[in-house]
Chain A
Amino acid sequence: MSGTSAGGAEITYRDAVREALREVLQQDPRTFLMGEDVGRYGGCYAVSKGLLDEFGPERIRDTPLSEAGFVGAGIGAALGGMRPIVEVMTVNFSMLCLDQILNTAATIRHMSGGQFSVPLVIRMATGAGRQLAAQHSHSLENWYAHIPGIRVVAPATVTDARFMLRTALLDPDPVLIFEHVMLYNMTGSLDPAADPVDIDRAAVRRPGRDVTLITYGGSLWKTLVAATELAGQGIEAEVIDLRSLRPLDDATITASVRRTRRAVIVDEGWRSGSLAAEISARIVEQCFWSLDAPVGRVCSAEVPIPYPKHLEDAALPQTPAIVAAARSVVGR
């Protein structure tokens, strides 16, 4: 897999995230990284390797396995004037701190009548593809995108991995950053013009006139491969990378769909109650009279993600299914 865009330096997604962390830690003494195995181990996905030596154990803070405890402590530290970056090893474990994220981080500003903001960044790995089975492979970012009071972003490119963090830290409210596990080893070129990046807008990663393919995170690259295949079959697909899952960039989505008159959403979450369902509803609400076909969805099968490779592959959105869904709505 390659996240290449023309121009800048080659870097892996993992290194891009690490460089982003290093930059904010160097620039803002209020920032610190906290989470399980972020220090001595170097991060479960080796993202924070080397940062302990550079910044010391106060700012690269290993925690016990206490998701509710250290996420809540991150919220408290943010209220106390720090700019914490909390790493939750994977979204699957974040169920243990869902209480803190939902009932505290997302609500305090409103409950306090606007007195307290929570400038906290939480990073989590998400997604399947490493044969980690049913308790380490799910894509639950959609659940967080449901919650008013927080922002949810999903960097899919090395450029976004490199630059979204700083923008997130400037935000006075909680920002959740979802990093798909299959992207860490991906190499791409940094866009030299991308600093700073906004985290509100979706990006058109490939222009096209026949159908709009809407996706984010790890599914972006499968969708771009599908778009290339479709081009070979005479179908020009436009590919939108959502980047921000909350708020959703309705303007970019609807502008594209009104032009192409067809849409397929590719989402690694389960179909029922998925982000794809939400986007589909918005397209129908806002573009109904422009549509030439029902909105299509390619989502994960409704099964806990299985361990064996062939079953894991079968459970996830794959390029052939994306191609088929696009052809179906185009009618060719």
Chain B
Amino acid sequence: MSETSDPKVHLTRSHVRALYQEMLRIRRFEEKCAELYTQEKIRGFLHLYIGEEAIAVGVMQALQPLDAVVATYREHGHALARGIEMGRVMAEMLGRQDGCSRGHGGSMHIFDAATRFYGGNAIVGGGLPLAVGLALADRMQGRPQVTVCFFGEGAVAEGEFHESMNLAALWQLPVLFVCENNLYAMGTALAISESETDIHRKAESYRMPAAAVDGMDVVAVETAARRAVEAIRGGAGPVFLECRTYRFRAHSMFDAQLYRSKDEIEAWKAKCPIEHLRAWALQAGSLHAEDLTAVEADVLAELDAAVAFAEASPWEPVERLLADVMTPEAPS
């Protein structure tokens, strides 16, 4: 996570390597999750972010440690890119006690107080008002923090989206809204669910600065996010980024993908954000083949350790079934 407030992206070797490594961590983590799902070690819903990694990684570069993040049920990438330990995220996937939510939430409900990561919200659109409130609290307490709210393009049909746009713009709150437009709300294409398919224009109608960004290009996302966060921290009110992207995998593990063509999927896979950065970095000389090998080895080592940690983690005892429903009374 960057400590700098410099809105420019400096593509040093180490930064390019970090961007590449962060995206690869998410990719390999989720490939492993799919494998663990087929082994029935991960159950329930599993929504993979594969193909969209550039957005979480690019945006997180612009944040400082005390900024807040609100994400969706497709949030493994955001959790990892925000800095939650991979072992704790994997333990959550497996429903184990050392999971970042003690295993209570699973894939869709990753929370972490230390990084101000407020979910893991699986009601589409439900996280947006939460982000508005977190930003309101920061503003009312005079803190310089920014709240970043991720959501898919499906959320923009919800009333909570419009209510939140209005409140954030009306009260000029420090929120960065990041719409991850992957073109399909589950299996419903944008064009058959929205009268206005240029999502960022909806935000503009609330008098909020808004732009469309190539969500397959991590540098483009980071650049846009840094500018936006800088402006928001400077008091400019909320900013909206529509990141255009594509989910390479099915919506969840139960999706036969009848609603889109193989050609379309292949065309988007050709824009893979990880391949894209790798090709660019090699050509530009920012990374060498041995760097790539080293990164791959680092990621696989981290992943192996994460899986081992998760599998060794105990189950939450049944005695704790009700323990976190209400806050225990503080000893007086």
Q: Which residues of A line the B interface, CB within 8 A?
A: 30, 32, 58, 63-64, 66, 68-82, 84, 96, 99-100, 103-104, 108-117, 148-149, 151, 171-173
CB distance from A61 to the nearest CB of B (A): 8
The answer on a CB contact under 8 Å between A64 and B324 is no
The answer on a CB contact under 8 Å between A113 and B137 is no
The answer on a CB contact under 8 Å between A76 and B166 is no
Q: Does residue B224 face the partner (Cβ distance < 8 Å to A)?
A: no
The interface stretch among B36-44, B74-82, B116-124, B301-309 is B116-124
- Considering the chains assembled together, what is the distance between the CA atoms of A160 and B170 in angstroms? 36
The answer on a CB contact under 8 Å between B129 and A149 is no
Q: Contacts of A66 on B, CB cut-off 8 Å?
A: 163, 166-167
The answer on a CB contact under 8 Å between A64 and B133 is no
CB distance from A33 to the nearest CB of B (A): 13
- Considering the chains assembled together, what is the distance between the CA atoms of A113 and B123 in angstroms? 18
The answer on a CB contact under 8 Å between B101 and A77 is no
Q: Contacts of A32 on B, CB cut-off 8 Å?
A: 140
In this complex, the member of A80, A84, A104 whose beta carbon has the largest number of chain B beta carbons within 10 angstroms is: A80
The answer on a CB contact under 8 Å between A113 and B136 is no
The answer on a CB contact under 8 Å between A115 and B111 is yes
The answer on a CB contact under 8 Å between A110 and B324 is yes
Q: Which of B112, B134, B140, B163 contacts A68 (CB 8 A)?
A: B163
Q: Contacts of B138 on A, CB cut-off 8 Å?
A: 80
- Considering the chains assembled together, what is the distance between the CA atoms of A30 and B136 in angstroms? 12
Closest chain A residue, CB of each to CB of B102: A113
In this complex, the member of A81, A113, A117, A171 whose beta carbon has the largest number of chain B beta carbons within 10 angstroms is: A113
CB distance from A101 to the nearest CB of B (A): 11
The answer on a CB contact under 8 Å between B111 and A113 is yes
Q: Which of B100, B104, B163 contacts A69 (CB 8 A)?
A: B163
Q: Contacts of A112 on B, CB cut-off 8 Å?
A: 101, 104-105, 109, 111, 113, 119-120, 324
> 21 pairs across A/B with beta carbons < 8 Å?
A58-B140, A66-B167, A69-B132, A69-B167, A70-B167, A72-B129, A73-B136, A76-B118, A76-B132, A80-B133, A84-B133, A99-B126, A100-B126, A103-B126, A110-B324, A112-B101, A112-B105, A112-B113, A113-B111, A172-B327, A172-B330
- Considering the chains assembled together, what is the distance between the CA atoms of A30 and B123 in angstroms? 28
The answer on a CB contact under 8 Å between B129 and A100 is yes
Closest chain A residue, CB of each to CB of B141: A81
Interface size on B, residues (CB 8 A): 45
Instruction: A73-B164, A173-B326 are known; give 10 further A-B pairs, CB within 8 A.
Output: A69-B164, A69-B166, A75-B129, A76-B131, A76-B134, A79-B137, A100-B129, A104-B126, A109-B324, A116-B111
CB distance from B9 to the nearest CB of A (A): 29
CB distance from A45 to the nearest CB of B (A): 23
- Considering the chains assembled together, what is the distance between the CA atoms of A112 and B126 in angstroms? 16
The answer on a CB contact under 8 Å between B111 and A72 is no
The answer on a CB contact under 8 Å between A116 and B118 is yes
- Considering the chains assembled together, what is the distance between the CA atoms of A108 and B123 in angstroms? 12
- Considering the chains assembled together, what is the distance between the CA atoms of A114 and B109 in angstroms? 12
Closest chain B residue, CB of each to CB of A172: B327
In this complex, the member of A71, A72, A73, A79 whose beta carbon has the largest number of chain B beta carbons within 10 angstroms is: A73
Q: Contacts of B238 on A, CB cut-off 8 Å?
A: none
- Considering the chains assembled together, what is the distance between the CA atoms of A108 and B167 in angstroms? 22
Q: Contacts of B192 on A, CB cut-off 8 Å?
A: none
CB distance from A82 to the nearest CB of B (A): 5
CB distance from B102 to the nearest CB of A (A): 3
Q: Contacts of A74 on B, CB cut-off 8 Å?
A: 133
Q: Contacts of B99 on A, CB cut-off 8 Å?
A: 113
Q: Which of A72, A81, A82 contacts B164 (CB 8 A)?
A: A72
In this complex, the member of A71, A72, A109 whose beta carbon has the largest number of chain B beta carbons within 10 angstroms is: A72
CB distance from A239 to the nearest CB of B (A): 29
Q: Contacts of B104 on A, CB cut-off 8 Å?
A: 110-113
Q: Contacts of B324 on A, CB cut-off 8 Å?
A: 109-110, 112-114
| A-contacting residues, B310-327, CB 8 Å | 323-327
Q: Which of B109, B141, B164, B327 contacts A111 (CB 8 A)?
A: B109
The answer on a CB contact under 8 Å between A77 and B133 is yes
Q: Which of B113, B136, B325, B330 contacts A76 (CB 8 A)?
A: B136
- Considering the chains assembled together, what is the distance between the CA atoms of A112 and B100 in angstroms? 8
Q: Does residue B68 face the partner (Cβ distance < 8 Å to A)?
A: yes
The answer on a CB contact under 8 Å between A64 and B163 is yes
Closest chain B residue, CB of each to CB of A76: B133
Q: Does residue B296 face the partner (Cβ distance < 8 Å to A)?
A: no
Q: Contacts of B166 on A, CB cut-off 8 Å?
A: 64, 66, 69
Q: Does residue B214 face the partner (Cβ distance < 8 Å to A)?
A: no
Closest chain A residue, CB of each to CB of B103: A113
Bitwise interface map of B from 159 to 200 toward A, beta carbon under 8 Å scored 1, else 0 = 110011011001000000000000000000000000000000
Q: Does residue B292 face the partner (Cβ distance < 8 Å to A)?
A: no
- Considering the chains assembled together, what is the distance between the CA atoms of A151 and B327 in angstroms? 11
The answer on a CB contact under 8 Å between B132 and A149 is no
Closest chain B residue, CB of each to CB of A247: B326
